[in-house]
Chains A and B, each alone.
Chain A
Amino acid sequence: MRIQVNGEHREVEAATILALVEELGLDVRKVAVERNLEIVPRSLHASTALAEGDRVELVQFVGGG
Protein backbone atom coordinates (compact mmCIF):
# COMPACT_ATOMS: atom_id res chain seq x y z
CA MET A 1 0.00 0.00 0.00
CA ARG A 2 1.01 3.58 -0.48
CA ILE A 3 1.73 5.67 2.61
CA GLN A 4 3.85 8.65 3.58
CA VAL A 5 6.84 8.04 5.84
CA ASN A 6 8.76 11.04 7.17
CA GLY A 7 7.29 13.18 4.45
CA GLU A 8 8.16 10.80 1.57
CA HIS A 9 5.68 8.72 -0.40
CA ARG A 10 6.45 5.01 -0.16
CA GLU A 11 5.04 1.71 -1.35
CA VAL A 12 5.22 -0.70 1.60
CA GLU A 13 4.41 -4.34 2.26
CA ALA A 14 3.86 -3.85 5.98
CA ALA A 15 0.34 -4.01 7.36
CA THR A 16 1.16 -2.82 10.89
CA ILE A 17 3.40 -0.21 12.50
CA LEU A 18 5.71 -2.91 13.86
CA ALA A 19 6.04 -4.52 10.43
CA LEU A 20 6.80 -1.11 8.89
CA VAL A 21 9.57 -0.36 11.39
CA GLU A 22 11.08 -3.78 10.67
CA GLU A 23 10.66 -3.43 6.90
CA LEU A 24 12.65 -0.18 7.06
CA GLY A 25 15.45 -1.91 8.96
CA LEU A 26 15.04 0.17 12.13
CA ASP A 27 15.48 -0.85 15.74
CA VAL A 28 12.03 -0.72 17.26
CA ARG A 29 13.47 0.10 20.71
CA LYS A 30 15.10 3.29 19.43
CA VAL A 31 12.36 4.98 17.43
CA ALA A 32 9.13 6.73 18.35
CA VAL A 33 6.17 6.57 16.01
CA GLU A 34 3.44 9.02 15.15
CA ARG A 35 0.59 7.99 12.82
CA ASN A 36 -1.64 10.72 11.40
CA LEU A 37 -0.45 13.11 14.14
CA GLU A 38 -1.23 10.63 16.96
CA ILE A 39 1.49 8.92 19.00
CA VAL A 40 1.48 5.13 18.64
CA PRO A 41 2.87 3.73 21.92
CA ARG A 42 5.42 0.95 21.51
CA SER A 43 3.03 -1.51 23.18
CA LEU A 44 0.58 -0.94 20.31
CA HIS A 45 3.00 -1.18 17.37
CA ALA A 46 2.08 -4.78 16.61
CA SER A 47 -1.66 -4.23 16.82
CA THR A 48 -1.88 -0.89 14.98
CA ALA A 49 -2.85 -1.45 11.35
CA LEU A 50 -1.67 0.81 8.56
CA ALA A 51 -4.17 2.21 6.07
CA GLU A 52 -3.73 3.58 2.57
CA GLY A 53 -2.60 7.22 2.67
CA ASP A 54 -1.43 7.13 6.31
CA ARG A 55 1.15 9.72 7.28
CA VAL A 56 3.74 8.14 9.55
CA GLU A 57 6.62 9.88 11.33
CA LEU A 58 9.52 7.84 12.70
CA VAL A 59 11.83 9.82 14.97
CA GLN A 60 14.83 9.25 17.20
CA PHE A 61 17.03 11.20 19.60
CA VAL A 62 19.92 13.02 17.95
CA GLY A 63 22.54 15.41 19.26
CA GLY A 64 21.20 18.81 20.26
CA GLY A 65 21.75 21.68 22.64
Chain B
Amino acid sequence: MTAPTDTWTVAGRTFSSRLIVGTGKYKTYQENAEAAEAAGAEIVTVAVRRVNLTDPDQPMLVDYVKPDRFTFLPNTAGCFTGEDAVRTLRLAREAGGWDLVKLEVLSDTAHLYPDMIETLRALELLIKDGFQVMVYCTDDVVMAKRLEEAGAAAIMPAAAPIGSGLGIQNRVNIRLIIEQATVPVLVDAGVGTPSDATLAMELGCDAVLMNTAIAGAKDPILMASAMKHAVIAGRQGYLAGRMPRRMYASASSPMAGLI
Protein backbone atom coordinates (compact mmCIF):
# COMPACT_ATOMS: atom_id res chain seq x y z
CA MET B 1 0.00 0.00 0.00
CA THR B 2 1.18 3.47 -0.80
CA ALA B 3 0.76 5.61 2.27
CA PRO B 4 -2.05 8.11 1.76
CA THR B 5 0.52 10.83 2.43
CA ASP B 6 2.47 10.01 -0.75
CA THR B 7 1.63 13.18 -2.60
CA TRP B 8 3.58 15.57 -4.77
CA THR B 9 3.38 19.33 -4.92
CA VAL B 10 3.86 21.70 -7.82
CA ALA B 11 3.62 25.48 -7.46
CA GLY B 12 1.91 25.10 -4.08
CA ARG B 13 -0.75 22.68 -5.33
CA THR B 14 -0.70 19.13 -3.95
CA PHE B 15 -1.79 16.06 -5.90
CA SER B 16 -1.98 12.35 -5.14
CA SER B 17 -2.23 11.09 -8.73
CA ARG B 18 1.15 10.97 -10.44
CA LEU B 19 -0.29 10.52 -13.91
CA ILE B 20 -1.11 13.60 -15.97
CA VAL B 21 -2.98 12.90 -19.18
CA GLY B 22 -3.37 14.85 -22.37
CA THR B 23 -6.72 15.45 -24.03
CA GLY B 24 -5.67 15.29 -27.68
CA LYS B 25 -6.20 12.65 -30.38
CA TYR B 26 -9.24 10.92 -28.82
CA LYS B 27 -12.10 9.82 -31.08
CA THR B 28 -14.57 11.79 -28.97
CA TYR B 29 -14.54 14.03 -25.90
CA GLN B 30 -16.67 11.36 -24.20
CA GLU B 31 -13.95 8.73 -24.67
CA ASN B 32 -11.43 11.30 -23.53
CA ALA B 33 -13.32 11.94 -20.29
CA GLU B 34 -13.67 8.20 -19.60
CA ALA B 35 -9.95 7.66 -20.18
CA ALA B 36 -9.02 10.51 -17.83
CA GLU B 37 -11.24 8.96 -15.16
CA ALA B 38 -9.79 5.47 -15.72
CA ALA B 39 -6.28 6.93 -15.45
CA GLY B 40 -7.19 8.40 -12.07
CA ALA B 41 -5.78 11.70 -13.35
CA GLU B 42 -6.18 14.90 -11.37
CA ILE B 43 -4.49 17.10 -13.97
CA VAL B 44 -5.19 17.15 -17.72
CA THR B 45 -3.37 19.17 -20.35
CA VAL B 46 -5.45 21.28 -22.73
CA ALA B 47 -4.75 23.51 -25.72
CA VAL B 48 -6.13 26.94 -26.56
CA ARG B 49 -7.62 27.45 -30.02
CA ARG B 50 -9.97 29.74 -31.91
CA VAL B 51 -13.65 28.88 -31.51
CA ASN B 52 -15.41 27.52 -34.58
CA LEU B 53 -17.54 30.42 -35.80
CA THR B 54 -19.26 28.45 -38.53
CA ASP B 55 -20.55 25.80 -36.09
CA PRO B 56 -20.81 27.27 -32.59
CA ASP B 57 -22.87 24.30 -31.38
CA GLN B 58 -20.19 21.64 -31.89
CA PRO B 59 -19.17 19.70 -28.74
CA MET B 60 -16.80 21.48 -26.39
CA LEU B 61 -14.05 19.89 -24.30
CA VAL B 62 -15.23 21.55 -21.08
CA ASP B 63 -18.67 19.91 -21.40
CA TYR B 64 -17.05 16.47 -21.06
CA VAL B 65 -13.70 16.89 -19.32
CA LYS B 66 -14.92 19.27 -16.68
CA PRO B 67 -12.74 21.92 -15.10
CA ASP B 68 -14.38 21.36 -11.70
CA ARG B 69 -13.26 17.70 -11.83
CA PHE B 70 -9.75 18.12 -13.29
CA THR B 71 -7.06 20.76 -12.91
CA PHE B 72 -6.55 22.08 -16.43
CA LEU B 73 -2.95 22.57 -17.46
CA PRO B 74 -3.06 24.80 -20.55
CA ASN B 75 -0.22 24.23 -23.00
CA THR B 76 1.46 26.38 -25.62
CA ALA B 77 1.45 23.77 -28.37
CA GLY B 78 1.82 25.46 -31.72
CA CYS B 79 3.83 28.38 -30.31
CA PHE B 80 7.29 28.91 -31.74
CA THR B 81 8.28 32.11 -29.91
CA GLY B 82 8.15 33.44 -26.36
CA GLU B 83 5.70 36.14 -27.42
CA ASP B 84 3.30 33.55 -28.91
CA ALA B 85 3.47 31.58 -25.67
CA VAL B 86 2.70 34.59 -23.48
CA ARG B 87 -0.23 35.60 -25.69
CA THR B 88 -1.69 32.08 -25.71
CA LEU B 89 -1.39 31.59 -21.97
CA ARG B 90 -2.84 35.01 -21.15
CA LEU B 91 -5.92 33.87 -23.07
CA ALA B 92 -5.85 30.54 -21.22
CA ARG B 93 -5.68 32.36 -17.89
CA GLU B 94 -8.67 34.46 -18.93
CA ALA B 95 -10.57 31.34 -20.09
CA GLY B 96 -9.87 29.36 -16.96
CA GLY B 97 -8.61 31.76 -14.35
CA TRP B 98 -5.47 29.90 -13.28
CA ASP B 99 -1.76 30.48 -13.64
CA LEU B 100 -0.33 26.92 -13.64
CA VAL B 101 0.68 26.25 -17.24
CA LYS B 102 2.76 23.99 -19.46
CA LEU B 103 5.30 25.71 -21.65
CA GLU B 104 6.34 23.98 -24.84
CA VAL B 105 8.15 25.89 -27.54
CA LEU B 106 8.79 23.42 -30.29
CA SER B 107 11.12 23.52 -33.21
CA ASP B 108 9.18 23.36 -36.45
CA THR B 109 10.59 20.00 -37.45
CA ALA B 110 9.68 16.34 -37.84
CA HIS B 111 11.07 15.40 -34.42
CA LEU B 112 9.22 18.21 -32.59
CA TYR B 113 12.01 18.57 -30.04
CA PRO B 114 11.72 21.77 -28.03
CA ASP B 115 13.75 24.80 -29.02
CA MET B 116 15.51 25.23 -25.69
CA ILE B 117 16.96 28.72 -26.32
CA GLU B 118 13.48 30.06 -27.09
CA THR B 119 11.93 27.97 -24.30
CA LEU B 120 14.22 29.59 -21.71
CA ARG B 121 13.39 33.06 -23.06
CA ALA B 122 9.65 32.28 -23.03
CA LEU B 123 9.94 31.00 -19.45
CA GLU B 124 11.44 34.30 -18.33
CA LEU B 125 8.64 36.25 -20.06
CA LEU B 126 5.94 34.06 -18.48
CA ILE B 127 7.38 34.32 -14.98
CA LYS B 128 7.43 38.13 -15.32
CA ASP B 129 3.74 37.86 -16.25
CA GLY B 130 2.93 35.94 -13.05
CA PHE B 131 2.64 32.40 -14.40
CA GLN B 132 3.72 29.19 -12.65
CA VAL B 133 5.40 27.30 -15.43
CA MET B 134 5.94 23.57 -15.93
CA VAL B 135 8.48 23.36 -18.72
CA TYR B 136 8.67 20.74 -21.46
CA CYS B 137 12.32 20.33 -22.37
CA THR B 138 14.97 18.10 -23.87
CA ASP B 139 16.70 15.65 -21.53
CA ASP B 140 19.72 17.98 -21.38
CA VAL B 141 20.95 17.99 -17.80
CA VAL B 142 22.58 21.43 -17.98
CA MET B 143 19.59 23.06 -19.67
CA ALA B 144 17.27 21.53 -17.06
CA LYS B 145 19.28 23.29 -14.36
CA ARG B 146 19.10 26.57 -16.28
CA LEU B 147 15.31 26.27 -16.42
CA GLU B 148 15.14 25.65 -12.70
CA GLU B 149 17.38 28.63 -11.96
CA ALA B 150 15.11 30.77 -14.15
CA GLY B 151 12.16 29.80 -11.94
CA ALA B 152 10.48 26.80 -13.57
CA ALA B 153 7.81 25.20 -11.34
CA ALA B 154 8.58 21.75 -12.79
CA ILE B 155 11.04 20.26 -15.25
CA MET B 156 9.47 17.98 -17.88
CA PRO B 157 12.04 16.28 -20.09
CA ALA B 158 10.98 14.32 -23.15
CA ALA B 159 11.72 10.60 -22.90
CA ALA B 160 11.51 10.34 -26.70
CA PRO B 161 9.90 12.43 -29.49
CA ILE B 162 6.26 13.48 -28.87
CA GLY B 163 3.81 10.80 -29.97
CA SER B 164 6.58 8.34 -30.86
CA GLY B 165 5.89 5.83 -28.06
CA LEU B 166 9.54 4.81 -28.09
CA GLY B 167 9.98 4.89 -24.31
CA ILE B 168 12.84 6.33 -22.28
CA GLN B 169 15.79 6.73 -24.63
CA ASN B 170 18.29 8.06 -22.12
CA ARG B 171 17.60 6.96 -18.58
CA VAL B 172 20.98 8.23 -17.41
CA ASN B 173 20.02 11.80 -18.30
CA ILE B 174 16.55 11.49 -16.75
CA ARG B 175 18.15 10.21 -13.54
CA LEU B 176 20.75 13.00 -13.49
CA ILE B 177 18.02 15.61 -14.01
CA ILE B 178 16.05 14.13 -11.11
CA GLU B 179 19.09 14.05 -8.81
CA GLN B 180 19.96 17.70 -9.29
CA ALA B 181 16.41 19.09 -9.25
CA THR B 182 14.73 20.80 -6.31
CA VAL B 183 11.42 21.12 -8.20
CA PRO B 184 9.28 18.22 -9.51
CA VAL B 185 10.58 16.33 -12.54
CA LEU B 186 8.08 14.68 -14.89
CA VAL B 187 8.72 12.61 -17.97
CA ASP B 188 6.61 14.28 -20.64
CA ALA B 189 6.34 12.71 -24.10
CA GLY B 190 7.68 9.48 -25.52
CA VAL B 191 6.02 6.98 -23.19
CA GLY B 192 4.48 4.16 -25.21
CA THR B 193 3.72 1.34 -22.80
CA PRO B 194 2.88 0.84 -19.14
CA SER B 195 6.39 -0.49 -18.57
CA ASP B 196 7.82 2.79 -19.92
CA ALA B 197 5.76 4.68 -17.33
CA THR B 198 6.89 2.31 -14.59
CA LEU B 199 10.52 2.82 -15.57
CA ALA B 200 10.12 6.61 -15.43
CA MET B 201 8.70 6.33 -11.92
CA GLU B 202 11.38 3.83 -10.83
CA LEU B 203 13.98 6.38 -11.88
CA GLY B 204 12.40 8.76 -9.36
CA CYS B 205 10.18 10.99 -11.46
CA ASP B 206 7.51 12.81 -9.46
CA ALA B 207 4.93 12.10 -12.15
CA VAL B 208 4.49 11.15 -15.80
CA LEU B 209 2.63 13.06 -18.50
CA MET B 210 1.29 11.20 -21.52
CA ASN B 211 -1.29 11.55 -24.25
CA THR B 212 -0.81 9.35 -27.34
CA ALA B 213 0.13 6.25 -25.31
CA ILE B 214 -3.47 6.23 -24.05
CA ALA B 215 -5.36 7.94 -26.89
CA GLY B 216 -3.57 5.85 -29.54
CA ALA B 217 -4.17 2.49 -27.85
CA LYS B 218 -6.69 0.06 -29.36
CA ASP B 219 -8.68 0.34 -26.13
CA PRO B 220 -7.84 3.73 -24.60
CA ILE B 221 -9.93 3.21 -21.45
CA LEU B 222 -8.21 -0.08 -20.61
CA MET B 223 -4.80 1.43 -21.39
CA ALA B 224 -5.58 4.39 -19.12
CA SER B 225 -6.24 1.94 -16.30
CA ALA B 226 -3.03 0.04 -17.11
CA MET B 227 -1.05 3.30 -17.01
CA LYS B 228 -2.55 4.20 -13.65
CA HIS B 229 -1.34 0.92 -12.17
CA ALA B 230 2.02 1.17 -13.94
CA VAL B 231 2.69 4.59 -12.42
CA ILE B 232 1.70 3.36 -8.95
CA ALA B 233 3.91 0.27 -9.37
CA GLY B 234 6.90 2.35 -10.44
CA ARG B 235 6.41 4.79 -7.61
CA GLN B 236 6.16 2.06 -5.00
CA GLY B 237 9.20 0.33 -6.49
CA TYR B 238 11.15 3.58 -6.24
CA LEU B 239 10.09 4.13 -2.63
CA ALA B 240 10.81 0.51 -1.71
CA GLY B 241 14.35 0.72 -3.12
CA ARG B 242 15.48 -1.91 -5.57
CA MET B 243 17.76 -4.82 -4.66
CA PRO B 244 21.43 -4.44 -5.53
CA ARG B 245 22.53 -5.68 -8.94
CA ARG B 246 24.90 -8.67 -8.80
CA MET B 247 27.15 -10.20 -11.41
CA TYR B 248 26.51 -13.76 -10.22
CA ALA B 249 23.65 -15.90 -8.97
CA SER B 250 22.56 -15.91 -5.35
CA ALA B 251 20.36 -18.86 -4.40
CA SER B 252 17.00 -17.97 -2.85
CA SER B 253 16.51 -21.31 -1.10
CA PRO B 254 18.77 -22.29 1.83
CA MET B 255 21.56 -24.81 1.19
CA ALA B 256 21.30 -26.14 4.79
CA GLY B 257 18.97 -29.08 5.52
CA LEU B 258 19.15 -30.59 2.05
CA ILE B 259 17.93 -34.20 2.00
Whether the pair A61, B22 counts as a contact (CB closer than 8 A) is no
Sort chain B's interface into a size bin. Answer: 35 or more
Minimum CB–CB distance for A12 against chain B, Å: 11
For residue B61, which residues in chain A have a CB less than 8 angstroms away from its CB? 60-63
For residue B23, which residues in chain A have a CB less than 8 angstroms away from its CB? 62-65
Question: Binary interface profile of B, 1-44, with partner A (CB < 8 Å = 1, else 0)?
Answer: 00000000000000000000011111001001000000000000
Known: A59-B48, A59-B49, A60-B48. A65 touches B22 (CB 8 A): yes
Minimal Cβ-Cβ distance residue in A for B26: A63
Q: Max chain A CB contacts within 10 Å: which of B26, B32, B60, B212?
A: B60
For residue B189, which residues in chain A have a CB less than 8 angstroms away from its CB? 65
B residues 87-126 in Cβ contact with A at 8 Å: 87, 90-92, 94-96
The CA-CA distance from A65 to B62 in the complex, in Å, is 15
Chain A residues within 8 Å of chain B by Cβ, number: 27
Interface presence of A32 (CB below 8 A): yes
Minimum CB–CB distance for B184 against chain A, Å: 18
Whether the pair A59, B87 counts as a contact (CB closer than 8 A) is no
From the candidates B32, B48, B77, name the one contacting A61 in the complex (CB within 8 A). B48
For residue B53, which residues in chain A have a CB less than 8 angstroms away from its CB? 5-6, 8, 24, 58
The CA-CA distance from A30 to B52 in the complex, in Å, is 13
From the candidates A27, A39, A63, name the one contacting B25 in the complex (CB within 8 A). A63
For residue B198, which residues in chain A have a CB less than 8 angstroms away from its CB? none
Which residues of B pack against A, CB within 8 Å? 22-26, 29, 32, 45-51, 53, 56-57, 60-62, 72, 74-75, 77, 87, 90-92, 94-96, 162-163, 189, 211-212
Selected A-B contacts with CB under 8 Å, 7 pairs: A25-B56, A32-B48, A32-B92, A61-B74, A62-B23, A63-B24, A65-B77
Besides A32-B94, A39-B91, A39-B94, 15 new A-B residue pairs in contact (Cβ under 8 A), listed by A number? A5-B53, A25-B56, A30-B60, A31-B51, A34-B91, A40-B94, A58-B51, A61-B47, A62-B23, A62-B46, A63-B47, A64-B22, A64-B46, A64-B47, A65-B211
